[in-house]
Structure 1
């Protein structure tokens, strides 16, 4: 199955890399305590949580004035070496380090992610063919705005028949934050929501000049208090692998391991697959859904809408 690019209406503005850089550094600094980084804490009153700018500057080996300019969003002339030092001082993960670089060095980011300035490219026919051959594995292709671009029959059986939705609603962020039935589908809905926001934040760093992505963030910020709360954390991470627990309306609880593979064809798309542990009840449930075919996805979608 294939979907058209996500028409979110007229593009409206873009995300401000300077403001994003400022807030990201401030929130990373706020989460650290002096004892976390080997600095003495003399019990002095702190007006704000976390490390002071001068403490972070000392750890990174840069002047307070230089770091202050960077935290105010002025990263135009910052070197990769300085960013590396600041990342180490802030104890950033690899994903956070990459995000910092994207925000501070937008010219480098644009060279690396030219696809972000374009409309979402369609899924390659060969990739759609691969999805169709995966008879027992729920799988789909997603875009950098969390669009669901293509999927196979098993993905529809597990997650619902996305083909019944208008194209603009085939988007994980909209489904998770705006659809009550998807809140019921994920047993740990909060973690799924966090994953979505972290991925959107990561991609917003890569594609801050994408007005459609900015429009999606603006829409969700208006419509969902949960999205606003999680977006304000400025947390980022790459989607890679893990376990998702679902409560399917037809077969009950499922525990599925997922793998995410970012494509290297310049489209900024990812192939995501789910599978159950061999011999588990979840494997048997997937086998049952596969035997029901398209009836499973239609019945599951109907149950979710009327629940």
Structure 2
């Protein structure tokens, strides 16, 4: 036995399947998560996790410790304690991505009447949206958190015509952001919330897919203008590390371009 193993075992006993978005199967003889469930959430083999709890493996990597801290819903203090027990320096909390969007960027976004544009942080919190983006995404998408929108908003499955692909790509992008700054306070919070509330997110999370956003095409089903197919481009905001700008564009002369013009007219009429 080891202090690390004892700590893992005690934290595991405090969580149930519902706390991490898993479905309970079969009768449970002991409280808490099973070892194989923690291993699944952390993306490690069951045998490796058992060795950690039994003290036969005493030198897990920092990456494994981060995964275990996330799987066990450890806060900042619990994460630091886990690292110390494993002989690693306690992780230094990363500074949060700035929430303020540069005024020059806001002016640029406002000058695109036919191009929906959003700025979001590492956790996919929407920090700014131009008027046509607000008209496209509506009250449930132009503000708040895009990950929460995809996985917990019932309307998302109708809004995104290809929801399974959007969901998988969203998790892969979130995984990349988490890997770059695993201690970002907002990323940690959103991850814990999604693991606790969405079984579909949890299933995708343990796949460990990693993809950044660059170019893509999305098909939206808008309640007022119908189906809209848009190409998107994503850019890092160099003046604010962690922020990204995503800009949507319809093919010139297409029905989707006409739909965007209609959305722009609707957005303008609502501001009068």
Distance in 2 between residues matched to 1:137 and 1:240, nearest whole Å: 16
Whose RCO is larger (CA < 8 A, sep 6+)?
Answer: 1
- 1:248-285: CA deviations, max 9, x gaps? 11111111000000112242111101011111111111
RMSD across aligned positions (CA): 3.3
CA drift of 1:120 comes to 3.2
- Answer yes or no: is 1:147 the counterpart of 2:125: yes
Counterparts of 1:118 and 1:242, CA distance in 2: 27
Task: Supply the distance in 2 between the matched residues of 1:73 and 1:216 (Cα, whole angstroms).
Answer: 24
Q: Does the Cα contact within 8 Å between 1:117 and 1:207 map onto a contact in 2?
A: no
Shift of 1:247: 0.7
Question: Is 1:73 paired with 2:51?
Answer: no
Q: Match of 2:61, SS?
A: coil
Which residue number corresponds to residue 244 of structure 2? 270
Q: Are residues 1:186 and 2:147 paired?
A: no
Cα deviations by residue, 1:57-102 (Å, 9 ceiling, x for unpaired): xxxxxxxxxxxx9x94268xxxxxxxxxxxxxxxxxxxxxxxxxxx
Number of the residue aligned with 1:244: 218
- Going from structure 1 to structure 2, the CA distance change for 1:231 and 1:294 (only over 3 Å counts) comes to farther
Distance change (3 Å), C-alpha of 1:176 and 1:209: same
Secondary structure at the counterpart of residue 120 of structure 1: coil
Q: 1:194 to 1:294 in 2, by over 3 A?
A: farther
Aligned CA distance change for structure 1 residues 207 and 292 (closer, same or farther; 3 Å): same
Q: C-alpha separation between the residues in 1 aligned to 2:145 and 2:175?
A: 15
Unaligned runs of 5+ in 1: 1-18, 28-46, 48-68, 76-105, 298-307
Distance, in Å, in 2 between the alignment partners of 1:127 and 1:247 is: 28
Corresponding position of 1:121: 99
2:193 is the counterpart of 1:219: yes
